Structure 1
Amino acid sequence: MAFVSPVSSRSPLHPPLPTPSPFTTYSVASTGWSARPPPIHVYNIVLRSLALLLSFVSALSLSIPSSKSPSFHDYQTLTYCFIVNTSAFVYSAYQLFKSIWDIAYPGICISEKTSDYINFVFDQIAGYLLISSSSVAVLTIQDMDHSKPLWKAAIVSVTISFVAFFVIQFCALLSGYKLCKRIVW
């Protein structure tokens, strides 16, 4: 059995093994780690999917009432609520796609640090818009006729929008955690 020097085994053909990171590396063949993504990525995908679903249902519930009754277009605050919920749906769809992309190909489009900053800021903005639109819509709902189908749809929409706000704020907490973990620790 021949003696092999550790220096000679590290040739340019064999680059050094990367240091495992809790955010980017999912498997290292020589250490036997599992190929599962870190739990923070899984939680992020679940929360983003839930935010996508809730914002879609909230916007859809405003647009479905029958054509005989007044539409949400007749009320500015309900229109604002519809636009914000649609924007939250588009934002959640983008974030869900980006989260899945980041697991498959980390750091290709945007650096991970920049991505963490962007996620944190836009999660805060989306949360603020959802809570403000829902709060303003509550005042309009109180002044509406209670026998109209739009009144029931507006209540459903605002309730689901409040729940979507909490889900997006949990996403913001995860984004803030990832940002602090990357910067401070």
Structure 2
Amino acid sequence: MFIYVVLLHRYCLFVNIIGFVYSGFQAFDLAYHLVTGMHVVSDYLRYHFNFSMDQILAYLLMSASSSAATRVDDWILNWGQDQFTLLASASVGMSFLAFLAFAISSLISGYNICNRDST
């Protein structure tokens, strides 16, 4: 049982790391654009890349958060609350917040992909 809980939390952690790296890439792309006036990824691909990555990460974050949340709740019901469950609950909460950020970002990138200049 403990191994299963640890694997779920590793999944949650790795999905959050992937989201962090992608967000860092987006910040780098914005900084690069502000300095040079160009983007790292071409215009046509950038809209599709942003939309698809936002969608993928939002779904992965929701999957990781919900699976980890059920295991933490089960752990608390069976063995009580301790330091591990407090940290795991905080991790799940931060993962849900990251999901909300990617969901909003997905809406914005969906708007951008539909309203971009076709020239």
Instruction: Give the TM-score, by structure 2 length.
Output: 0.84
The answer for the alignment partner of 2:17 in structure 1 is 86
Runs (5+) with no aligned partner, structure 1: 1-70
Instruction: Give the TM-score, by structure 1 length.
Output: 0.56
Does 1:174 find its partner at 2:105?
no
Q: Aligned pair in 2 of structure 1 residues 74, 133: CA closer, same or farther (>3 Å)?
A: closer
Q: 1:96 aligns with which of 27, 32, 52?
A: 27
> What per-residue deviation string (whole Å, max 9, x for no partner) do you get for residues 88-113 of structure 1?
11111111111222233344533212
Task: Give me the whole-angstrom Cα distance separating, in 1, the residues matched to 2:114 and 2:105.
Answer: 14
Deviation at 1:169, TM superposition (A): 1.1
Q: Which has the bigger relative contact order, CA under 8 A and spacing at least 6?
A: 2
Q: 1:112 aligns with which of 29, 40, 43?
A: 43
Give 1:13-162 correspondences, 5 Å limit: 75-144=6-75, 145-162=79-96
Task: Give me the whole-angstrom Cα distance separating, in 1, the residues matched to 2:48 and 2:65.
Answer: 26
Q: What is the aligned residue count?
A: 114
> What per-residue deviation string (whole Å, max 9, x for no partner) do you get for residues 23-43 of structure 1?
xxxxxxxxxxxxxxxxxxxxx
More helix by share: 2
Structure ID, larger Rg: 1
> What per-residue deviation string (whole Å, max 9, x for no partner) do you get for residues 135-176 of structure 1?
100111012133320100111111111111011111111111
Question: What letter corresponds to residue 143 of structure 1 in structure 2?
Answer: D
Task: Give me the whole-angstrom Cα distance separating, in 2, the residues matched to 1:72 and 1:152.
Answer: 18
Identity of aligned residues (%): 32
Runs (5+) with no aligned partner, structure 2: none
Q: Aligned pair in 2 of structure 1 residues 72, 166: CA closer, same or farther (>3 Å)?
A: farther
State the secondary structure of the residue aligned to 1:96.
helix
